[in-house]
A and B are shown apart, each in its own frame.
Chain A
Amino acid sequence: MNASVIIFYIIAAFILGAGILAVTTRKIFRSAIWLLFSLIGIASLYFWMQVEFVAAVQIVVYVGGIVVLIIFSIFLTQKSGDEMPKPLKNRSIFSALAVLFGFAFTFNLIKQYGFKQIESTPFEVKVSDIGNQMLSTTEHGFVLPFEVVSILLLAAMIGCIVIAMKVKHNEQ
Chain B
Amino acid sequence: MGIDFLILMKHEWLLIAIIFILLFIKVGSKEWKNESILNLINILLLFNCIVGFFWNEGGILFNEMFKTDALIAAEKNILNLGTYIISLQSYSWLKNHKHVLEFYMLLLSTLAGMFFMISAGNLLMFYLGLELSSIPLAAIANFDLEKRKSSEAAFKFIISSAFSSGLLLFGISLMYGATGTIIFSELSQQLNGSPLQIFAFILLIAGFAFKISAVPFHLWTADVYEGAPVAVTSYLSVISKGAVLFVFVSVLYEVFKPLAETWYNVLFLLSVLTMIIGNLFAIRQNNLKRFLAFSSIAQVGFILIGISGNSQTGAASVVYFVLIYIFSNLGAFGVISLVSALTGKENIDDYKAFYKTNKLLSWVLAISLFSLAGIPPTAGFFGKFFLLMAGAGQGNYLLITIAALNMIVSLYYYLKVVKAIFMDTNETPIEKITIPSLPKLALFICMAGIVLTGLMSYVYEYIFSLISAF
A and B touch in the complex (CB under 8 A): yes
B109 touching A154, Cβ below 8 Å: yes
Q: How many residues of A contact B (CB 8 A)?
A: 29
Contacts of A113 in B (CB 8 A): 178, 194-196
Cα separation A163 to B202 with both chains bound (whole Å): 36
Contacts of B131 in A (CB 8 A): 152
B147: interface (CB < 8 Å): no
Contacts of A88 in B (CB 8 A): none
Contacts of B138 in A (CB 8 A): 159
A140 touching B99, Cβ below 8 Å: no
A interface residues with partner B (beta carbon < 8 Å)? 106, 109-110, 112-113, 115, 137-145, 148-149, 151-152, 154-156, 158-163, 167
Q: Nearest 9 A-B pairs (CB), nearest first?
A: A159-B139, A155-B109, A155-B136, A113-B196, A144-B62, A152-B132, A148-B128, A109-B196, A162-B102
Q: Which of B62, B143, B196 contacts A143 (CB 8 A)?
A: B62
Q: How many residues of B contact A (CB 8 A)?
A: 40
Cα separation A161 to B140 with both chains bound (whole Å): 12
* CB-CB contacts below 8 Å: B247-282 with A: none
Cα separation A162 to B102 with both chains bound (whole Å): 8
A162 touching B125, Cβ below 8 Å: no
B195 touching A109, Cβ below 8 Å: yes
Cα separation A162 to B26 with both chains bound (whole Å): 12
A112 touching B195, Cβ below 8 Å: yes
Q: Which of A154, A158, A163 has the most CB of B within 10 A?
A: A158
B145: interface (CB < 8 Å): yes
Cα separation A142 to B132 with both chains bound (whole Å): 17
Cα separation A158 to B26 with both chains bound (whole Å): 11
The dominant DSSP class at the A interface is helix
Q: How far is the CB of A162 from chain B (nearest CB, A)?
A: 5
- Please judge, given known A-B contacts A137-B62, A141-B63, A145-B124, whether A110 and B145 are in contact too, CB under 8 Å: no
Cα separation A145 to B116 with both chains bound (whole Å): 10
B403: interface (CB < 8 Å): no
Q: How far is the CB of B459 from chain A (nearest CB, A)?
A: 32
A167 touching B116, Cβ below 8 Å: no
Cα separation A163 to B140 with both chains bound (whole Å): 9
B106: interface (CB < 8 Å): yes
Cα separation A115 to B194 with both chains bound (whole Å): 12
Encode B149-178 as 1/0 by CB contact (under 8 A) with A.
000001000000000000000000010011
A-B contact list, 29 entries, CB within 8 Å? A109-B199, A110-B196, A113-B195, A141-B62, A143-B62, A144-B66, A145-B65, A145-B125, A148-B113, A151-B16, A151-B109, A151-B112, A151-B132, A152-B128, A152-B131, A152-B135, A154-B109, A155-B105, A155-B110, A155-B135, A155-B139, A156-B135, A156-B139, A158-B106, A158-B136, A158-B139, A159-B139, A161-B102, A162-B143
